[in-house]
Structure 1
Amino acid sequence: MLSITDISIRIAGRLLIDESTVQIAPGARVGFVGRNGVGKSTLFHAIRGDLATETGSISIPPRWRIGSLAQEAPDGPESLISVVLKADLERDALLKEAETASDPERISDIQTRLVDIDAHSAPARAAAILSGLGFSAEAQLRSCSEFSGGWRMRVALAATLFSAPDLLLLDEPTNYLDLEGTLWLEDHLANYPRTVIVISHDRDLLDTSVNEILHLDRGKLVHYRGTYSNYEEFRANKEALDAKNVKRQEAERKRLQDFVDRFKAKASKARQAQSRVKMLERMKPISALVTQDVREIVFPAPEKILSPPILAVDNVSVGYEPGKPVLNQVTLRIDTEDRIALLGSNGNGKSTLVKLLANKLQPFSGSITRADKLSIAYFAQHQLDELVMDNSVYDHVRKLMPDMPESKIRARAGNIGFSGKAADTIVKSLSGGEKARLLLGLATFYGPNMIILDEPTNHLDIDSRAALAEAINEFPGAVIMVSHDRYLIEACADQLWVVADRTVTNFDGDLDDYRKVVMQARGMRTTTRDRVSTDREKLAKPKEKKVPFKQQVAEAEAEMERITGIIAKIDTALALPDLFKKDPKQATQLTKARAAAAGALQRAEEQWLSASSLHEEANG
């Protein structure tokens, strides 16, 4: 059990956690929520032992292994699958020792332990996790250095999940994922067999993957059993009840005070008045649940509503290198007030499509028709780097209103969420969520006809995401969104487009249907009810390049050689005189280890035969 007892944590003089206590039972799946900046990540540092508490204690069972996402993405020449496999430190150490061990008893111990930890199935388990996070079989064999930072952070996440720690701490893991990877992670966490605490602002993950909620609010940890929706309902009911009790207490206080004021000077009533003074002193104020109202997000309406279609794409081919289109034969139409969500794994062309629509990328062929005076606002996370870190919010707004008086500039800054002195805050002092709000306000400053949002929720907390959804629904123009947040898509989108197989296709179904498609495509558990048509599976699953048959043959041969060496060492140990009499338990374990290795060898041989046959056919 994870026991947090009366802890207080202070950072730079600011009290983040104030004498809080909570117990997390083994096997609990906990969603850790709270506004940005309240101290959730700080508590993770304290649990890992990286940060000392001011008061109280944190205790963890001594044999528990703690796992969390690495701060830096893995890099170097090693293949993705190798990086993930090495995350199981015990398995990696045992395999290295097995290569040099000569003592029969030690060989026996090593092989027995490898069987106990199911080491022979590790490559298949690691490959399944990488596949779930969006890496094809071919990509898993490529070196880490070939991938961008975002993809390498997925490898770090895969390694953390593969190591299967007793206490898994995840801090906003979906920030590195697309919708498809997020759906896979939701399923994986929902079936995680040990204790997990995940910091997340993703409502769907908090409703499908966890069974407890830990809320950090005003320095206090509140623990609740149930999903986030259950907890939200509980908080709403408590807020309503507290409001009634506060009102009732105020009325009682007024009644008692009126009595004291009226009769304190009368000798005949002095005793009763004094009694009521004591009652007032004993009456402790009810601590009502304080709600922190989130600032709304508003997108300015366009000056003129355009006649549909506002944008039409006809048989377009587009990409970055001539002759190598990312998308081909794309035909689509966007009307006023359309709400379209783009689905499809990262790397399939969603960003290419939005750049085409935003007129930031020109087509190789085909035609694009745009309505006269069409204005498009484009928001993408990478644009955060375009903000001037040493300038204030006011400075950024003033650049767009150079001839306006200060009062109007400050009023406009207030409209995008930075009223009063907040407008004088320099950008580098803003939180990630505040920077995203500023960028949204600047991108939509002139009242566009169409807004393109590429992962707009990454730095927004739950309430801000709800405010964004409300702003989208109230906006009178068209909205195109790329997001891994199911809540945002379900709340706003009326059309789903799948970007896959180098084209764009309308998806005939809702997000639940699409989730089933992803589950099947990524090898997750499905039931008969979850099964969907082959056509949809083909639609959502991008075509993958196959690993060359020659390479498959070589890998199978290397695996056969490795397992054969293991079997030889087990046989040496089993050949010890009187082994079965002196140590029957060890002999039984060795026999089981040999059987497991023999099964692995048989599978490797079958893979070798299949790959060899295909290689011969391919080469005539």
Structure 2
Amino acid sequence: MLSIQDISIRIAGRMLIEASSAQIVPGARVGFVGRNGAGKSTLFRAIRGELSLEAGAITVPPRWSIGSLAQEAPDGPESLIDVVLKADTERHALLAEAETAQDPARIADIQTRLVDIDAHSAPARAAAILSGLGFSTADQARACQEFSGGWRMRVALAATLFAAPDLLLLDEPTNYLDLEGTLWLEDHLANYPRTVIVISHDRDLLDTSVDQILHLDHGKLALYKGSYSSFEEQRAAREMIEAKHAKRQAEERKRLQDFVDRFKAKASKAKQAQSRVKMLERMKPVTALVTQDVKEIRFPEPEKTLSPPIVALDNVSVGYEPGKPVLSRVTLRIDNDDRIALLGVNGNGKSTLVKLLAGKLPPFSGKMVRADKLSVGYFAQHQTDELDPDGSPYTHLRRLMPDAPESKVRARAGAIGFSGKAGDTTVQSLSGGEKARLLLGLATFAGPNLIILDEPTNHLDIDSRAALAEAINEFPGAIIMVSHDRYLVESCADRLWVVADRTVKPYDGDLDEYRRTILAPQTLPPSRERVREPSKPPRSRSEKSSLKQKIATAEAEIERIGGIIAKIDAALALPDIFQRDPKQAAQLTKARAAAEAALGKAEEEWLEASASFESAD
């Protein structure tokens, strides 16, 4: 059990957690929630032993391994699959030792332990995790250094999940994922066999993947059983009870104080007045839970409603290098009040499409018609790099309102969530959520007809995400969104487009159907029409490549196990080993039997993959 006993944590003079406790039982799947800056990541550091406590104690079972997402993305010439496999440090060390071990007893111990930890299936397990997080079979063989920082953070997440620690600590893991990867992670965490605590602002993940909610609010920890939806209901009931309790206590304190004030000067009532003074002193004040109101998000309305369609694409192709289109045969239209969510794994062209719609990329071919005087607001998280770190919300707005009086600029800053002194806070001092709010305000400053939101929920807490959903639904213009937050998509989108197979098509199903498709062991159909294909379609190139990789992996495993059996046979051939050391001989015999079983399994996998590859041809 993870035991948190009356801990207090102070950072830079600020008390984040004060005299708080929680008990996490083995096997619990816990969602850790609270406002940004409340101290959630700080508690993770304390659990890992990276931070000293001001008071109290955190006790982790001595044999438990603790795993969390690395702060820095892995890099280097190693393949993705090798990076992930190395995360199981015991397996990696045993395999390295097996290459050089000479002592028969140690060889037997190594092979027995490798069987115990199911080392043979490790490559398949690692490949399955990488695949779930969006890496194709070909990608898994590429060097880690070939990928961008965001993709390498996915590799770090894959390595953490593969290691399967006894206590898994995940801090906002979906920030690096698309919707498809998020859906896979939800399913993986829901079936995680050990203890997991995940900091997340993703409602759907907290509703589908965890069975307890740990809430940090005003420095206090509270553990609730059930999903996030259940937590909201329980907390609302608790707030109501505590508000009533606080009101009753306030009334009782007033009654006692009135008695003291009235009779403290009368000798006949002095004793009674004094006793009531003591009662007041012993009465510990109860304060009602104060819910911090989330700042509203509003998008300025466009000045004029344009004639539909505001954007129409007819057989358009687009990309970055002439002759190498990323998307082709795109025929779509956008109307004034559309709410469209883009689906599809990262790398399929969603960003290319939104850049085309935003006017940042011209089409290679086809016809693209935009309404006259169309105004587009474009938000993307990477735009934080374009903000002036030494500037403030006020100075950024002043550049857009050079001739406006200060009062109007201040009012506009307040409208996007930066009232008073907050408007003069430097960008480098803003939290991730505050930077996102500033970017949203700047992107929609001119009242655009079309707003494009590319992963707008990163760094926003749950209440701010709800405010964003409300703003989207109230906006009278068109909105296109790319988001891994299923709650936002389901709350706002009335049309789904899938970006796959180098084109874009409407998706007729809902997100539940899309989720089932993603988690099924088959290639994603971009629309329902693909479902009506023949029951045994020809295998695609990617499937053949996957089978070829399986064959090569199985062949390498057969060769490796064959070498192990040869070493064990050499040890068993030593003179008089059965008479001299019968226990060691028994261990070697057991290890050989286990190796034989592993060899048989590898040969079966090779035969199955080879047969499938031949039938594909």
Is 2:82 the partner of 1:82? yes
Write the distance in 2 (CA, Å) between the matches of 1:231 and 1:469.
21
Match of 1:93 in 2: 93
Query: Distance in 1 between the 2:398 and 2:223 partners?
Result: 45
Matches of 2:366 and 2:372 in 1, distance apart?
A: 19
Tell me what 1:478 maps to.
Answer: 478
Partner Cα distance (1:542, 1:356) in 2: 29
Contact 1:564–1:601 (8 Å) recurs in 2: no
Matching of residues 271-420 of structure 1 within 5 Å: 272-420=272-420
- The residue number in structure 2 matching 1:508 is 508
1:537 Cα deviation after fit: 10
The corresponding residue for 1:247 is: 247
TM-score calculated relative to the size of structure 2: 0.93
Structure 1 residues 256 and 183: alpha-carbon distance in aligned structure 2, compared to 1, 3 A threshold: same
Q: Secondary structure at the match of 1:544?
A: helix
Cα separation, partners in 2 of 1:523 and 1:2, compared to 1, 3 Å: farther
Tell me, in whole angstroms, the C-alpha distance in 2 between the residues paired with 1:297 and 1:225: 31
Q: C-alpha separation between the residues in 2 aligned to 1:470 and 1:6?
A: 39
> Cα 1:254–1:550, aligned 2, differ >3 Å: closer, same or farther?
closer
Counterpart Cα distance in 1 of 2:605 and 2:586: 29
Distance 1:547 1:77, change over 3 A: farther
Shift of 1:246: 2.2
Corresponding residue for 2:179?
179
| TM-fit CA distance, 1:29 | 0.9
Aligned match of 2:603 = 602
Give the total of aligned pairs. 607
What one-letter code is carried by the residue in structure 1 that aligns with 2:116? D
* 1:288-323, Cα deviation, whole Å (9 max, x unpaired): 111111111111111112232211111111111111
In 2, Cα distance between equivalents of 1:256 and 1:55: 36
Q: State the 1:264 CA deviation.
A: 4.6
C-alpha spacing 1:446/1:262, structure 2 compared with 1 (3 Å): same
The structure-2 alpha-carbon separation of the partners of 1:522 and 1:135, relative to structure 1 and needing over 3 Å to count, comes to farther
- Map 1:225-240 to 2 at 5 A: 225-240=225-240
Secondary structure, aligned partner of 1:356: helix
Q: Which whole-Å deviations, capped at 9, do the CAs of 1:385-423 have from their partners, x for residues lacking one?
A: 000001111100100100011111111100000000000
Match of 1:60 in 2: 60
CA distance 1:368–1:608, change in 2 (3 Å): closer
Q: Aligned residue for 1:25?
A: 25
Measure, in 2, the Cα distance between the counterparts of 1:543 and 1:202: 35
For residues 501 and 549 of structure 2, what CA distance do their matches in structure 1 show?
25
User: Mapping of 1:568-607 within 5 angstroms?
Assistant: 568-575=566-573, 577-578=577-578, 582=583, 586=587, 589-603=590-604, 605-606=606-607
- Whether the aligned pair in 1 keeps the contact of 2:105 and 2:584 (CA below 8 Å) is no
Match of 2:510, as an amino acid? D
Matched residue of 2:52: which SS? coil
Partner of 2:520: helix, strand, or coil?
A: helix
Distance of 1:214 and 1:161 partners within structure 2: 21
Distance of aligned partners of 1:523 and 1:121 in 2 relative to their CA distance in 1, 3 Å threshold: farther
> 1:46-99 CA deviation, whole Å, 9 max, x = no partner?
111112112222221111111111111111111111111111111111111111
> Equivalents in 2 of 1:391, 1:614: separation in Å?
63
SS of the residue corresponding to residue 440 of structure 1 reads helix
Provide Cα deviations, 1:546-584, integer angstroms capped at 9, x if missing partner. 439887765554333212112212333444642795468
2:104/2:588 contact within 8 Å kept: no
2:154 aligned residue: 154
Q: Distance in 2 between matches of 1:380 and 1:10?
A: 34
**Preserved contact between residue 375 and residue 448 of structure 1 (Cα < 8 Å):** yes
- Whether the 8 Å contact between 2:550 and 2:606 is mirrored in structure 1 is no
**Any conservation in 2 of the 1:432–1:460 contact (CA below 8 Å)?**
yes
Per mean C-alpha deviation after superposition, the further-off stretch among 448-457 and 556-565 is: 556-565
Change (3 A) 1:613 1:479: closer
Query: For the Cα contact (< 8 Å) 1:563–1:600, is it kept in 2?
Result: no
Deviates more, 1:492-501 or 1:222-231: 222-231
When residues 322 and 164 of structure 1 are mapped into structure 2, their CA distance, relative to the original with a 3 A threshold, is same
For residues 99 and 600 of structure 1, what CA distance do their matches in structure 2 show? 21
Amino acid at match of 1:165: P
Q: Is the 8 A contact 1:570 1:594 kept in 2?
A: no
User: 2:7 corresponds to which residue?
Assistant: 7
Which residue does the alignment assign to 1:527? none
Q: SS where residue 9 of structure 2 aligns?
A: strand
SS of 1:26's equivalent?
coil
Contact between 2:318 and 2:327, CA under 8 Å: does it hold in 1?
yes
Give the Cα separation in 2 of the matches to 1:128 and 1:459. 28
Distance 1:57 1:228 in 2: 27
Q: How has the CA–CA distance of structure 1 residues 294 and 549 changed in structure 2, closer, same or farther, with 3 Å as cutoff?
A: closer
The yes-or-no answer on 1:567 pairing with 2:565 is yes
SS at match of 1:135: coil
Task: Specify the alignment match of 2:461 in structure 1.
Answer: 461
Q: Does structure 1 conserve the Cα–Cα contact (< 8 Å) formed by 2:216 and 2:222? A: yes
CA contact (8 A) 1:138 1:545 kept: no
CA distance in 2, matches of 1:45, 1:9: 11
Residue 15 of structure 2 contacts residue 219 of structure 2 at CA under 8 Å; is this kept in 1?
Answer: yes
Matches of 2:185 and 2:54 in 1, distance apart? Answer: 35
1:166 maps to what in 2? 166
- When residues 575 and 605 of structure 1 are mapped into structure 2, their CA distance, relative to the original with a 3 A threshold, is farther
Structure-2 separation of matches of 1:172 and 1:249: 40
Q: Secondary structure at the match of 2:545?
A: coil
Task: Quote the offset at 1:431 in angstroms.
Answer: 0.4
Superimposed CA distance per residue, residues 113-141 of structure 1 (whole angstroms, 9 cap, x where no aligned partner): 00000000001000000010011111111
The sequence identity of aligned pairs, in percent, is 74
Go from structure 1 to structure 2 and tell me whether the alpha carbon gap of 1:603 and 1:478 turns closer, same or farther (over 3 Å shift): same
Q: Identify if the C-alpha distance between structure 1 residues 207 and 468 changes in structure 2 by more than 3 Å, giving closer, same or farther.
A: same
Contact 1:454 1:482 in 2 (8 A): yes
Contact preservation (8 Å) 1:557, 1:608 = no
How far 1:361 moved relative to its partner? 0.7
Residue 564 of structure 1 aligns to which amino acid in structure 2?
G
Counterparts of 1:174 and 1:479, CA distance in 2: 23
Q: State the Cα deviation string for residues 432-474 of structure 1 (Å, max 9, x = none).
A: 1000000000100111111100000111011111111111111
Deviation of 1:10 (Å): 1.5
5+ long unaligned stretches in structure 2: none
Secondary structure of the residue aligned to 1:296 is coil
The 2-side partners of 1:467 and 1:258 are apart by: 44
Unaligned residue ranges in structure 1 (runs of 5+): 525-531
**In structure 2, C-alpha distance between the alignment counterparts of 1:553 and 1:265, rounded to whole Å:** 96
Q: Do the aligned residues in 1 keep the contact of 2:551 with 2:606 (CA within 8 Å)? A: no
The root-mean-square deviation of aligned C-alpha atoms, in Å, is 2.6
| Residues in 1 aligned to 2:238 and 2:268: alpha-carbon distance in whole angstroms | 43
Aligned residues of 1:521 and 1:537 also touching (Cα < 8 A): no
Deviation by residue 1:144-177 (Cα, 9 ceiling, x = unmatched)? 1111111111111101110111111111100000
Deviates more, 1:232-241 or 1:600-609: 600-609
Change (3 A) 1:262 1:9: closer
